[in-house]
Chain A
Amino acid sequence: GAVVSQHPSRVICKSGTSVKIECRSLDFQATTMFWYRQFPKQSLMLMATSNEGSKATYEQGVEKDKFLINHASLTLSTLTVTSAHPEDSSFYICSAPPGGSPGYTFGSGTRLTVV
């Protein structure tokens, strides 16, 4: 089946540094990738939608200069959290539609802790 590989699974960084999260579609082409954020014991909130070869679309309230999204190829999308602060600590998950029918394939998530 369709697989989305997400790395790293866990990262701890110092406040003020930047962190890059990668999502790769392994056996299908992902022209679209969705990025979600999940706070503890809460649901997933869509942050942005990336499309290969064009600018990402951000949801209301999401700072585009802080959460940089790049969709450089049909199999790779990246989310960079710039100048991270403790309040950015969260679980970030990517997902992509494998095509053909509704529903997404999700990455395994990245636990970001900013200290």
Chain B
Amino acid sequence: GDSVTQMEGPVTLSEEAFLTINCTYTATGYPSLFWYVQYPGEGLQLLLKATKADDKGSNKGFEATYRKETTSFHLEKGSVQVSDSAVYFCALSGKTSYDKVIFGPGTSLSVIP
């Protein structure tokens, strides 16, 4: 079945460091891909998404490109801030808004001053 794999955490970075969180997926067809962020004690927020190959999702300085050839959707940010400390989930779903979302295991990021 469909699945999402992402790099194990926790990840600890200094402020202004470059961030990469790797995500790869296995799916039949052409899924939509997402990154969600969860701050401590809160629900999930959609960070960015891409719905077709070569699309780049971006938001708040974060970017991810849908790579069909490598089945990847790596999350990047050029300069992280302490406020970016959270858990990041890579996810996929079908093309319609009613398709089930499958989440990766999550990667915890801590940014230290």
Binding site secondary structure of chain B: loop
> Pick the contact of A43 from B95, B98, B105 — CB < 8 Å?
B105
Q: A41-B108, A43-B106, A44-B89 are in contact. Are A102 and B42 (CB under 8 A)?
A: no
**Which of B36, B93, B97 has the most C-beta atoms of chain A within 10 angstroms of its own C-beta?**
B97
Cα separation A46 to B36 with both chains bound (whole Å): 15
Within 8 A of A (CB), among B67-97: 89, 93-97
Binding site secondary structure of chain A: loop
> Pick the contact of B97 from A102, A107, A109, A111 — CB < 8 Å?
A102
A6 within 8 A of partner (CB)? yes
B43 within 8 A of partner (CB)? yes
User: Count the A-B residue pairs with Cβ separation under 8 angstroms: how many?
Assistant: 62
A103 lies within 8 A of B43 (CB): no
A103 lies within 8 A of B89 (CB): no
Report the interface size class on chain B.
20 to 34
Chain B hits for A108, CB < 8 A: 42-43
B94 lies within 8 A of A102 (CB): yes
12 A-B pairs within 8 Å (CB atoms) are namely: A6-B43, A34-B100, A41-B108, A46-B101, A49-B100, A102-B32, A102-B93, A102-B94, A102-B95, A102-B97, A103-B46, A111-B41
Residues of B participating in the A interface, judged by any CB pair closer than 8 Å: 32, 34, 36, 41-46, 49, 51, 89, 93-101, 103-106, 108
